[in-house]
Amino acid sequence: MQTVSENTCFGGIQGVYSHSSKACGGDMTFGLFLPQEAKDGPVPVLWYLSGLTCTHENAMTKAGAQGWAAEQGIALVFPDTSPRGEGVANDEAYDLGQGAGFYVNATQDPWAPHFKMWDYIAEELPALITENFAIDGERQSITGHSMGGHGALTLAMGLAGRYRSVSAFAPICNPTASDWGRKQFTAYLGADESKWAAHDASTLMREVGFDGPVLVDTGTNDQFLDLLRPETLAEAAFARRQEGAIRMQKGYDHSYFFMSSFMEDHVSFHAEALYAG
């Protein structure tokens, strides 16, 4: 692992690191904020998964999460959204290929050799950060935006017992019925739609739910509402009597201005779960 940069931030350290990834077959880069409490021992961690076209850097510099995480003594991990580099498959469209990993393990060519983002987020990167930093692997929560909100919800429901809480900003809630999903799942996972269900938050909510609190915020002025389909997640959550809140925030859109406006809510929500018990 190589240190790309480290900067003092709200009394802690905002670092950027690169490493060779076995899961993705090449070098990967991630951001990690460690609060000052990490100097004295392992701290709980909140994962932040970003959306289409983003790298590790977007949320790290725009979401305004570090100040609230510092108040709560929580670490933040900002992974990249896909493998990158020479020899990694790509597409001219912004919503497929590099920057658009969708947090799945691709099984189809030309994506399969590198696009193993589920394994990377679920297994490889957690092992790396708990081995090298003062991170308490028993206290993890997860959040994300748009494609990253989809990833946060599906990882939380797909990995029972891993995360104490899950939240999302404007998540893609029903990708199997959306152009933000059907296109990518066909490319990455193949035409057999039965293999897509494990990566659809609304389907997972109906079938398994989440053993903990859920918080989802979407703006009423989000320009991608028809692609996000938040109503499908809400219907599934209410049918299941899922603990949590699914909120529509008046006037907000899909931007980082929206996320930063409600970041305090989300970090405080996760802190309550991470420090419970």
CA angle 172, 107, 128 (to 5 degrees): 75
Candidates 141, 146, 167, 202; catalytic one: 146
Residue with tokens 């739609």: 193
Which whole number is the average pLDDT over 34-58? 98
121-175 pLDDT, tens digit each:
999 999 999 999 999 999 999 999 999 999 999 999 999 999 999 999 999 999 9
Extents of the domains making up the chain: 2-275
Percent of the chain at pLDDT above 70?
100
Q: Could you confirm whether 253 is annotated as catalytic?
A: no
Residues 226 and 69: their CA atoms lie apart, in Å, by 32
Query: Candidates 3.40.605.10, 3.40.50.1820, 3.30.70.141, 3.40.190.10; correct CATH number of 2-275?
Result: 3.40.50.1820
Q: Are 155 and 118 in contact (CB under 8 A)?
A: yes
Torsion-angle region of 155 (φ positive above 0: left; ψ -120 to 50: alpha; else: beta): alpha
Instruction: Write down the catalytic residue from 150, 222, 266, 270.
Output: 222
Residue 270 known to be catalytic: no
* Nearest partner of 263 among 67, 112, 96, judged by Cα: 67
Q: pTM (2 decimals)?
A: 0.97
Catalytic, out of 56, 114, 150, 254: 254
